[in-house]
């Protein structure tokens, strides 16, 4: 199925609200979506807002107009707490059947090969390692050993490409994460 095309938003040409209106009109004209007025309720606030319902297997759209009217409590939304294991027998059965998926231990993706495409004219960049603070050396070595044993990283003898690691310590001097700058 071929659809028309909406030009991208270009700030100097039009304001954002008129662009969104034009985008919604495009969705409706191409029979991709329908539009309704709804009255969502959030933290005892009732407002009437337009809802664009997208047809087919597409992600839901929550627009800026919603975020302006419903002031979300972002600190609580992004607060992740470990939930107790569900008591529903069906959920327990799924957890038992797929223990490797819900395990706390990292694992490799099986039967999958990743490919990194690099432009043919790309020049390899090799940045030398940065010194690790003496107070963190032992913790970094332990963490790198743990990552190697888990199959997350592996030692190599030589590479044309390299980036230094960045160590993020916890207050107790253990390692929160080791990441690359690449």
What is the DSSP-derived secondary structure letter of residue 160? Answer: S
Mean pLDDT of 106-115: 77
pLDDT value of position 122: 92
What are the beta bridge partners of residue 129?
none
Q: Does the reported pTM lie above 0.85?
A: no
Ordered by start, the domain boundaries in the chain are 16-77, 125-182
Residue with tokens 């009437």: 48
Q: Are strands 175-180 and 45-46 parallel, antiparallel or unpaired?
A: unpaired
Chain centroid to CA 103: 20
Kindly state the tokens that stand for 36. Answer: 């309704």
Per-residue pLDDT band for 121 (boundaries 50, 70, 90) equals very high
Chain centroid to CA 43: 26
* pLDDT above 90: residue 123: yes
Among 98, 116, 95, 117, smallest CA distance to 107 is for 98
> How many residues are there in the chain?
182
| pLDDT tens string 8-67 | 545 556 676 777 777 777 777 777 667 778 888 778 788 888 777 777 776 666 677 788
pLDDT value of position 76: 77
């Amino acid at each position: 199925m071929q659809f028309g095309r909406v030009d991208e938003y270009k700030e100097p040409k039009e304001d954002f609200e008129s662009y969104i209106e034009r985008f919604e009109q495009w969705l409706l004209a191409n029979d991709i979506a329908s539009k309704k007025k709804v009255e969502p309720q959030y933290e005892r606030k009732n407002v009437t807002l337009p809802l664009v319902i997208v047809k087919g297997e597409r992600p839901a759209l929550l627009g800026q107009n919603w975020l302006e009217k419903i002031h979300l409590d972002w600190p609580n939304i992004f607060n992740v707490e470990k939930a107790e294991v569900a008591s529903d027998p069906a959920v327990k059965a799924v957890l038992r059947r797929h223990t490797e998926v819900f395990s706390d231990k990292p694992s490799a993706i099986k039967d999958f090969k990743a490919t990194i495409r690099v432009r043919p004219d790309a020049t390899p960049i090799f940045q030398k390692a940065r010194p690790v603070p003496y107070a963190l050396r032992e913790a970094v070595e332990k963490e790198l050993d743990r990552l190697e044993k888990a199959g997350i990283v592996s030692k190599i003898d030589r590479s044309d490409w390299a980036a230094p690691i960045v160590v993020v310590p916890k207050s107790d001097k253990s390692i929160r994460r080791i990441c690359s700058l690449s």
